[in-house]
Amino acid sequence: MKTKLIKRLLVVGGSVVLIVLVAFSISFIRFYNLNKKYNKLQKGIDNHFVFFNIGNGDRLYLIKLIDSISVCNPKVIGIDVFFTEQKDTAQDSILADCIKTSGAVLAARHDGARFFDVHPMFMRSARKVGYAQSNSGDNFVIEFIPFINSFGVDHYHFAYQIALAYDKKKASDFLSEMESNAAVEVEFRRLDDQFRKYDFNDLDFDCSEIQGKIAYLGYLGPTDEDKHFTISRYFHRDRDKSGPDMYGSTIVANQVLMILEGENR
């Protein structure tokens, strides 16, 4: 009886060890493949973007911010804010005019047929409108759709509209052989701290940093709201691996860089 019991225990123990080894091997192979595929982050500070954290600013703050940025002559202003409704008639009118004068590209959502979550007044004021969604898999942001054709009308992603306003040829080349409604895998090239940024309420700009660049207005704190999981989080041991690592604004910026810079080297 003891011999049989020992044999059973050995079989069970061996099975457990085998399962653990198999699970570890699968995890290691998956990690290795992810590392090989996604660990293409560039070093240093990006030279295309300057971020402006809108924080919890109201519309008066956004008016002041857009006007102050415009003085510095950026190549493009991208506004990653959903103006879903009118609030104050006077403020909204000034803001819409401010958006129009600045030639800003405005973010929206898309429901598969049309843009939504942007009041028509603000949509009409924008230079271009693009949807800002990204697709996820296994909780990670992994891809986006550069343009959707719905009922014979092409609607473009926010990242593509920004890239188009910055460099028409590069953006057009990126899209030239692409089918509508086709998802593209995101190549993450920069982390949050690799972008020049001005924090909420910091309006003391160095125009030499902004001129000719993409001025991106989006949410960058002060909390972890609007953060997402990305593959890049695996490769930075000094970062917290348990939580989201990248703001939605930074994800869009990576999509823009992917369009402007072509295939990662």
Which pLDDT belongs to residue 223? 81
Rg, Å, the chain Cα set: 23
Residue 33 scores a pLDDT above 70: no
What number is the average pLDDT over the span 18-25? 56
What single DSSP character describes residue 233? G
H runs (alpha helix) in 41-157: 59-70, 89-102, 120-125
Output the pTM of the full model.
Answer: 0.84
Which pLDDT belongs to residue 196? 96
What number is the average pLDDT over the span 50-69? 95
How is residue 151 written in tokens?
């009922």
- How far is residue 41's CA from residue 196's CA, in Å, rounded to a whole number? 16
Which pLDDT belongs to residue 61? 96
Domain boundaries, the chain: 1-38, 44-261
DSSP secondary structure string for all residues of 179-196: PTT--EE------GGGSE
- How far is residue 37's CA from residue 204's CA, in Å, rounded to a whole number? 40
Cβ contact 246:232 at 8 Å: yes
